[in-house]
Homo-oligomer: A and B are copies of this chain.
Amino acid sequence: MSNNHFKKGELYSFITGKASIAIARRLQKKFNTSGVNLTIEQWSVLYQLWKHDGASQQELCNATFRDKPSITRLVDNLEKLNLVNRVSDEKDRRINKIYLTRAAIKLQEETMALAEETLNEALSGVPADQVEMCKEVLQKVYDNLNG
């Protein structure tokens, strides 16, 4: 059985993920026009902290699929924006726990609404079962390459 799913011309767009790039750009535009002063990358870190405030930088690496230097600098920038604070763990002083500020907590509702709005626009006209299957395929791709 052939594993060769790709005609030549389609290969590039699958690798570059133009759909997810389009989604991210659309969400960024919504942030900008709504006066939300955040990059998508900064938002993706806040997103994890809204789920688990006080996560370590290493935990943020795992959750956002980034390496440690990336998280160091994203946290740097979020600190400059007064959205998070680094707090050194008392038991293990290597670890920084990252805590949301009041301002960051306030951003959750608005930005999550913009994110859901963006996804609904992106998936408009796509039947729910196809969305479901697409998510499964993409998860499988991820697992194939990281398992």
Contact = CB atoms under 8 A, between A and B. Distances in A.
Nearest to A8: B112
B15 A119 contact: yes
A122 B141 contact: yes
Task: Name the residue in A125, A141, A146 with the highest tally of chain B Cβ atoms < 10 Å from its Cβ.
Answer: A141
Contact of A17 (B4, B19, B112): B19
A10 B119 CA distance: 11
A20 interface: yes
Nearest to A24: B15
- Total identical chains: 2
Interface string A103-147: 000000000100110111111111010110111111111101110
Interface in A70-126: 112, 115-116, 118-126
Contacts of A145: 22-23, 25-26, 121-122
Interface string A1-35: 00111101111111111111111111100000000
A36 interface: no
B40 A27 contact: no
Point out which of A118, A121, A137, A146 has the most chain B C-beta atoms below 10 A from its C-beta.
A137
A144 B128 contact: no
A133 B134 contact: yes
Given A3-B123, A18-B138, A22-B145, 6 more contacts: A9-B51, A15-B27, A15-B40, A18-B65, A122-B145, A125-B140
